[in-house]
Structure 1
């Protein structure tokens, strides 16, 4: 990263007691303006949220405040951090490096990319103090690192200090990143989507920790996210960005209950999974004119499919893995990824599977899709046993069951055009109802039909994956999954990485396609609120077991297990924020 380019003399000195003051910040890439004349301030101890969708300019703003803009971007304006009278926009990299980590610090979205994988956790925290000379020697820095690990709630700090990042969980890694950020008592803490990759209960723990820490240290907080519910439970004031400009600003109460700008109202509507329009669809930014908080209409579903009975039957399913030997004298340790799981899914069901990382969701999906074999138990999909399944069984499974994955970019070949990506399942004769491969024209017609069904323009077939947005790429993944007309569609966290408005669009699309094509849907998520909208039945998983299952509304409104209640309570919602204001 290079420094921000110099633009002129030092502006008005900072106001005493402020963590950061930004005046007329403009960021350009060549002739294109990415952020336009942005001004805001954060007092010491104040918590301010910066919200907006991808491309709104919020992450660029955070990088500018930290002096981390890439070399191809040009910045103008004034950025003062803490009591430092220098304008960050005018400083070179050496001066900026002295400010980062002392007066300001940042917690990034993905902790694994922010940590050195070859260095133990304790020395990484100590290094932040040694580099800036805030501790007298390495022994003092190491002692302070242990205290910081304890402060951020890491169990057994001395043991964790000797661990490498990959040996910690995602939540623990994010706590370590927070410890590094706080090592030198900065006046400003910038958090850029710090909980997006975390499970809901871990997210709540990290958010509670951030709140307690900034309050105790009187640190200013700039919290950047596209999740309005998280901001509503974390911050005091909000800035709403759209296309590089702040379109609205105000207190949490004002923004969440009396928004003035149409874009703000659209974001709130799209974030509220408890509200639907008169057709039972989730609101998007474009359809939010008639949004009323908490106004939900029962979704109209299509008639039941002609197929009757159970299409999936799972009984006492177990999957045991053996971990590598730790020495020549110890036996491999057995890990039960699934332990006696039982459930059934009827044709036409919308079946949700929820649980945190490590609950067994991914293992169960691998077994259902024929990518792995169970250790014991019974598993049938559309009447065929997948226990010791042969090639013919798996070929039949591919015809009847297709998957939409979490990250569409990782599941789409970047070198293939969309027409070839969507048509690929049709090249396998086993995927076709009559067992004969289609001709080129038939494939092209089928692809065109599915591209239209998922709401993409016809000319999309001639383009490549990188030419589409995240939401559009997920639509392409759905088109590919449905082109061979499967009976069962498995969706594995398909909206967790999407902006709120795009999330609503994709969920509406899935609901429409499931009805139109009379599909059985298996929807996997860690978010019970998404499942509540889309699914009729749900199974809650924990540590390889199903701890609760039943009708979604019943499980949600009257959970029988404490773990289910914890999952529900840990997920922030727009409606809860609005009700408490």
Structure 2
């Protein structure tokens, strides 16, 4: 890294103080405590992971450390950062702001929320240094910004410095945020789920960059996440939080191989997508007693790769439920000049595949691979530029209204963010029953009575494992995992033949993820569904699907039986995806 002098002479020598010292931290609302008597310490250059599920208190802890708690919360205890003796708790915004960016900095989950969309990214990096006075003038700050962009691996940094955030990819934006965080050589770097929204190969690059940077600068790292595999590859020590209390802490090699607390064991079990119980189901926190850790041979039976249904003769190719042949899709971008034609983007380039009835078909790939475009065409929401696609015997190219109505009867979608697809003003019973109000959605096209609707809703509520009284409540009264169950219930209430799941567990905690994946597997078998599962998480697809298609840049580069492809991938891109995917098993075997 290029060295630049910083006016930080008031700092105490490295050996004299930790990067972070937290003592007796308690954070509460008027009604209950969110964090209780938390005490821990991070030395300079030490990498500490803070893990736990939603509601565990880990994000509240990070906000308290940064002096960013909202006024609705009260905090007591002591938090000091670097060589500054002032207690961050109760310090006041003006003084805390001086510490942020200088003594400590934070990298958030979503970089677009941390960047100003109206300022060029180089200017935003420079502003951080000018605010804290670590560069003498704007010209020096802008030169230093380009150096920092080089340090974090951004391509053509001088040119990229002139770009706006929306002109960069997600991984590039996260690198810009990291450059801003490191601009003033903070003694503590707080990363709050910094790679959750990134593709696996970009995640690997960003994690490597964070590790190299904190090691080179002897920066203390507090890494907050619900992904245990990421913590295992990033941190030396881990704190496990549950309901506002640290239930276990220690070195990664001990905690991840010899956990002392049942909750830690449950998180490890739920994170291991290679382990199933004797019924072929993923472990959850509640069912983790029989999980075998580390290198031990599992005392569990792998779920069969095909639905456990009575054997039947294989359907001929002509009977495929979904068939796509040489699909292409081109988009035109806005013109950049009056003298040049609008550039075209090839979102799909000759995509062909078939899905048999009853299959669990996975589609994997990173951002820009064409997954979303293919999903829109498969769902009748967009038309291909060329090629053909048939779903349940209906051609969707130039589909008429009647063809699309038939598609709605046979195909339903579960989206990534259930809250965005649930009307907050409707009760759950009304949400699940809504598709039943349109006779066109129903097999046979015959409307059902109010009594029949109530019975079907009650059946689906029970099938997805929600309490009976859920029908009278509203979406905001449920957790993320429960809201996803509601979305699944609504999708299945009309008895479709095909269920399309678009990243349905990517935003869920590991234990909730396991519950929803188990639920999907059970419902696919019980209702004899054909599942199309779209994801960038190869571990999830490996567990759930019996066939997989790997997409890159609008093409299917490899497809076939899931286990065969994962065990012996033939395409370099598939191999790179598998190698970049962190797994808890890999972490345990390394120790």
**What's the TM-score, normalizing by structure 2?**
0.95
Per the alignment, residue 302 of structure 1 pairs with 308
Correspondences of 1:48-447 after superposition (within 5 Å): 48-293=48-293, 295=298, 296-300=300-304, 301-303=307-309, 308=315, 309-447=319-457
What is the distance in 2 between the residues matched to 1:502 and 1:454? 13
What is the distance in 2 between the residues matched to 1:391 and 1:304? 36
1:476 paired to 2:480: no
The worse-fitting range, judged by mean Cα deviation, of 566-575 and 322-331 is: 322-331
Q: Name the SS of the counterpart of 1:372 in structure 2.
A: coil
What is the distance in 1 between the residues matched to 2:187 and 2:367? 34
Q: CA RMSD in A?
A: 1.2
Q: Would the aligned equivalents of 1:228 and 1:574 in 2 still touch at CA under 8 Å?
A: yes
CA shift for structure 1 position 90: 3.4
Please give the per-residue CA displacement for 1:172-219, whole angstroms capped at 9, x wherever unaligned.
000000000000000000000000000000000000000000000000
What is the distance in 1 between the residues matched to 2:15 and 2:44? 11
CA shift for structure 1 position 298: 2.8
Q: Name the SS of the counterpart of 2:384 in structure 1.
A: coil
Q: Would the aligned equivalents of 1:305 and 1:347 in 2 still touch at CA under 8 Å?
A: no
Q: Name the SS of the counterpart of 2:190 in structure 1.
A: strand
Correspondences of 1:390-539 after superposition (within 5 Å): 390-539=400-549
What is the distance in 2 between the residues matched to 1:468 and 1:146? 46
Please give the per-residue CA displacement for 1:54-109, whole angstroms capped at 9, x wherever unaligned.
00000011111111111111111111100111111131111111100000000000
Q: Would the aligned equivalents of 1:305 and 1:348 in 2 still touch at CA under 8 Å?
A: no
Please give the per-residue CA displacement for 1:111-155, whole angstroms capped at 9, x wherever unaligned.
000000011001000000000111000000000000000000000
Q: Would the aligned equivalents of 1:304 and 1:348 in 2 still touch at CA under 8 Å?
A: no
Per the alignment, residue 6 of structure 2 pairs with none
CA shift for structure 1 position 332: 1.3
CA shift for structure 1 position 304: 5.7
Per the alignment, residue 7 of structure 2 pairs with none
**What's the TM-score, normalizing by structure 1?**
0.96
What is the distance in 1 between the residues matched to 2:227 and 2:274? 15
Q: Would the aligned equivalents of 1:304 and 1:518 in 2 still touch at CA under 8 Å?
A: no
CA shift for structure 1 position 433: 1.4
What is the distance in 2 between the residues matched to 1:205 and 1:48? 19
The worse-fitting range, judged by mean Cα deviation, of 542-551 and 90-99 is: 90-99
Per the alignment, residue 545 of structure 1 pairs with 555
CA shift for structure 1 position 323: 1.0
Q: Would the aligned equivalents of 2:111 and 2:177 in 1 still touch at CA under 8 Å?
A: yes
Q: Name the SS of the counterpart of 2:321 in structure 1.
A: strand
Please give the per-residue CA displacement for 1:11-63, whole angstroms capped at 9, x wherever unaligned.
xxx98231000001011111411100000000000000000000000001111
What is the distance in 2 between the residues matched to 1:110 and 1:144? 24
Q: Would the aligned equivalents of 1:19 and 1:219 in 2 still touch at CA under 8 Å?
A: yes
What is the distance in 2 between the residues matched to 1:399 and 1:90? 58
What is the distance in 2 between the residues matched to 1:436 and 1:527? 39
Q: Name the SS of the counterpart of 1:233 in structure 2.
A: helix
1:44 paired to 2:44: yes
Please give the per-residue CA displacement for 1:425-454, whole angstroms capped at 9, x wherever unaligned.
111211111211111111111111001000
Please give the per-residue CA displacement for 1:228-254, whole angstroms capped at 9, x wherever unaligned.
000000000000000000000000011
Correspondences of 1:558-573 after superposition (within 5 Å): 558-573=568-583
List, as ranges, runs of 4+ consecutive aligned residues in structure 1 with deviation greater than 4 Å: 304-308
Q: Name the SS of the counterpart of 1:247 in structure 2.
A: strand
Q: Structure 1: any 5+ residue segments left out of the alignment? A: 1-13
Q: Name the SS of the counterpart of 1:38 in structure 2.
A: strand
What is the distance in 1 between the residues matched to 2:404 and 2:113? 37
Q: Name the SS of the counterpart of 1:125 in structure 2.
A: helix
CA shift for structure 1 position 328: 2.0
